[in-house]
Amino acid sequence: MNNRYKFAAVLSLAAALSASADIKVNEMLTISGYAAGSYEYFSPSPGTDSDSLFNGSKDTPSADAMKTIFTMNFKPVTGTVSLFYIPSIPSGVMKNELTFLDAYATYDAGGGTTITAGKFLSYLGYEAFDPVNMSQITYGAVTVGTLSAIPAYHTGVKVDYADKTFGYGVAVLDSVYSNVGIDKGDGELKHNAGFEGYLKYTGATDLTLWAGFAYDTKGSFQPHNVMTLDFWAEYKVSKAATIAGEFCNKDGGDFAKGSTWLAYLNYGFTDKVSTVFRVSGESLSGKTAGADFTQYTFGPALKVSDNLVVRAEYSYYDYKGGAKKSLFGLQSVFKF
């Protein structure tokens, strides 16, 4: 299939998805979710060019995905379960193409405090896990570099509090990181028990400051305790422009040590058209395998409707030692 027809396929998916969306079941059950499909073209130097259509890659593991979320409201308890599907899963991302992702219950204790138990997403990371909440196709170096510093899903219990000025939370987990993929932790506390926490400040107009940590005890798949510190800030300069920055340091011993960062600008030219500019990088230390790199990203987006967004992206990766890589992508994301 040549490129022209691949692009046509992406746009055809967008048109088909925009034709239907169903949300309401009854007062106690809500169904929501999204479907994302993309075309990506990779050009490494040295190396051979390749492309993919509706097929996640190691660089964008959830660029192509479908997620259906079932939210059950039995106040003061809310239950959330989601089904997550990635076609042709890249090695090491998930064991199965279709899996239960979110599976947790939250008790509203009042006064801004909630208690959650089950399988849920990590606190860490400025960039969202779900592509429907992203502004570009790929993730920055903080999330998908050699360190993979930002965790994904794990099982445990967490307590959160939020008011107009501060928010904070702590979690006890089966593990922070995982040896099985992005969709779950290691399933037990005796080895690799994990802990997370964060503090968020929203007391200044249009400014958010966030600081968090993750700590994993050593075990069968991690020969060293792991400490990760993550800091990000976001400021809405105007109705049209948002800037953000993130710095993350991970220390998992000689073979998992280093820091990553990103700088981000999202500018809306109109209510329908916006563009992301992002620079991110990773610097390794100790005996960590891999190469330092910087990623430069430009990503325009068109909001076709409240439910449908079409994005394009060009990312350029510059690796220490001389290797280069370019990525061009086109993605449609439909939410309901």
Q: 258 - beta bridge partners?
A: 250, 284
**Can you give the pTM of this predicted structure?**
0.89
For residues 66 and 82, give the distance between their C-alpha atoms in angstroms, rounded to a whole number: 10
Comparing 60 with 147, the larger pLDDT belongs to: 147
3-state class percentages of the chain: helix first, strand second, coil last, to nearest 5? 5, 55, 40
For residues 235 and 245, give the distance between their C-alpha atoms in angstroms, rounded to a whole number: 9
* E strand spans, 189-272: 194-201, 207-216, 226-236, 241-251, 257-268
Task: Note whether 199 and 169 are within 8 A (CB).
Answer: no
- Side chain identity at residue 117, one-letter code: A
126 CA to centre of own chain: 8
Condensed to tens digits (0 to 9), the pLDDT of residues 196-215 reads 999 999 999 999 999 999 99
* CATH architecture assignment, domain 3-335: Beta Barrel (2.40)
**Strand 308-319 to 194-201 pairing:** unpaired
> Any idea how long the chain is?
336
Condensed to tens digits (0 to 9), the pLDDT of residues 24-52 reads 678 889 999 999 999 999 999 999 998 88
For residue 2, pLDDT over 50 is answered with no
- The angle at the Cα of 68, spanning 102 to 19, to the nearest 5 degrees, equals 160
Domain boundaries, the chain: 3-335
